[in-house]
């Protein structure tokens, strides 16, 4: 282990001990969201240490919006259902929300499908206290039209544990500190993630935020000053490790759930809801008419 890494770790632990870290869900508050529609011109080309996604690279990615402002992400499951984080939808009036699909550059309205929300069903096991089972299904009032920019994402088998390299995407706050000023990128951003063991992930969260990383959660590490931030909540963690040739390709392993502020701290991986452990809830909602 290099001396530089040890010094960075000690500095990081000192800052944590001084109360500089704060557990936070990774959605944008209404105060942040109200700025977004007027601040697209102010942006850093980073999700937090990421880079611009290619047009159509993540066709399942949606923007969940209120009053014309983005505040959470989500993933398309079929023509009328979107998978999101329960904490994004907690207390929200569906009639005031819109789902925007096909957006790559938020200023390019021609490529977007902007549809109203009909119904939101949170996982009945969701706890706002522990953020466990942080999943919800959004039903749309109109069907999406699938094309090169709008497609569903596959679900993992029940009980599947992802490994190796994955990627997450979103339009969340690109300010490296995750605080004001809010830098909302026009372009969809992406950052590579490596699945981190729950055992390793639990230690800093339990010691410094008193939060428990359960078996219904996944942890993804991206390195120093890289990761998800406010506004990325509800968006997908996509992996490619399903074992058979028939299953080769992307699937949604996680739903962006929570982390700490400042964002992108290497000792605190981003925490995602584990989609494979929530298949009963998701499948039940997909069977509803």
- Residue 257's Cβ-count burial label (10 Å; 0-12, 13-18, 19+) is buried
Q: Which of 43, 87, 104, 160 is catalytic?
A: 87
Beta strands per DSSP E along 173-286: 189-196, 217-221, 236-239, 251-261, 270-274
Q: Helix axis angle, 3-17 relative to 198-209, nearest 10°?
A: 40
- Say how far apart CA 265 and CA 21 lie, in whole Å: 9
Q: Where in the chain is the domain with CATH 2.40.10.10?
A: 25-30+154-276, 58-152+281-286
- Say how far apart CA 233 and CA 28 lie, in whole Å: 8
Residue 210: pLDDT band with limits 50, 70, 90: confident
Active site residue 93: no
Most confident of 58-62, 101-105, 223-227, 230-234: 58-62
Condensed to tens digits (0 to 9), the pLDDT of residues 44-95 reads 223 555 688 999 999 999 999 999 988 999 999 999 999 999 999 999 999 9
CB atoms under 10 Å from CB of 196, counted, come to 17
Q: Which of 104-108, 152-156, 221-225, 264-268 has the lowest mean pLDDT?
A: 221-225
| Mean pLDDT over each residue of the chain, to the nearest integer | 80
Supply the pLDDT for residue 288: 87
Active site residue 3: no
CATH number for 25-30+154-276: choose from 3.40.50.920, 3.30.470.20, 2.40.10.10, 3.20.20.70. 2.40.10.10
Active site residue 87: yes
pLDDT higher at 259 or 124: 124
Supply the pLDDT for residue 109: 81
Residue 244 CA: distances (Å) to CA of 130, 162, 165, 248, 279: 35, 14, 17, 6, 20
Supply the pLDDT for residue 7: 39
Q: Which of 25, 134, 160, 228 is catalytic?
A: 134
Condensed to tens digits (0 to 9), the pLDDT of residues 162-189 reads 987 899 998 865 555 545 555 566 789 8
CATH class of 58-152+281-286: mainly beta
Q: Which of 169, 228, 233, 277 is catalytic?
A: 233
Question: What's the average model confidence in pLDDT over 239-259?
Answer: 83
Residue 14: pLDDT band with limits 50, 70, 90: very low
Supply the pLDDT for residue 111: 85
Of 113, 288, 95, 268, whose CA–CA distance to 196 is shortest? 268
CA angle 274, 277, 281 (to 5 degrees): 110
């Amino acid at each position: 282990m290099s001396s530089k890494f040890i010094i960075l770790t000690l500095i990081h632990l000192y800052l944590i001990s001084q109360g500089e870290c704060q557990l936070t869900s990774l959605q944008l508050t209404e105060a942040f969201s109200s700025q977004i529609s007027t601040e697209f011109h102010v942006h850093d080309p980073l999700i937090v240490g990421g880079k611009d996604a290619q047009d159509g690279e993540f066709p399942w990615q949606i923007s969940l919006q209120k009053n014309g402002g983005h505040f959470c992400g989500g993933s398309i499951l079929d023509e009328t259902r979107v998978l999101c984080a329960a904490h994004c939808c907690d207390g929200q009036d569906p009639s005031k929300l819109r789902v925007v699909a096909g957006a790559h550059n938020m200023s390019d309205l021609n490529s977007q499908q902007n549809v109203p929300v009909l119904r939101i069903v949170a996982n009945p096991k969701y706890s706002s206290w522990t953020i466990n089972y942080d999943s919800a299904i959004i039903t749309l009032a109109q069907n999406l039209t699938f094309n090169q920019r709008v497609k569903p994402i596959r679900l993992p088998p029940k009980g599947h544990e992802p490994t190796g390299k994955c990627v997450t995407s979103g339009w969340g706050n690109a300010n490296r500190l995750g605080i004001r000023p809010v830098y909302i990128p026009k372009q969809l951003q992406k950052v590579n993630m490596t699945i981190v063991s729950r055992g390793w992930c639990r230690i800093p969260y339990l010691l410094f935020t008193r939060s428990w990383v359960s078996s219904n959660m996944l942890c993804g590490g991206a390195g120093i000053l890289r990761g998800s931030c406010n506004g990325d909540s509800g968006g997908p963690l996509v992996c490619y490790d399903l074992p058979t040739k028939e299953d080769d390709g992307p699937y949604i392993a996680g739903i962006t759930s929570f982390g700490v502020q400042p964002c992108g701290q290497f000792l605190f991986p981003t925490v995602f809801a584990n989609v494979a452990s929530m298949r009963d809830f998701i499948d039940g909602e997909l069977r509803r008419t």
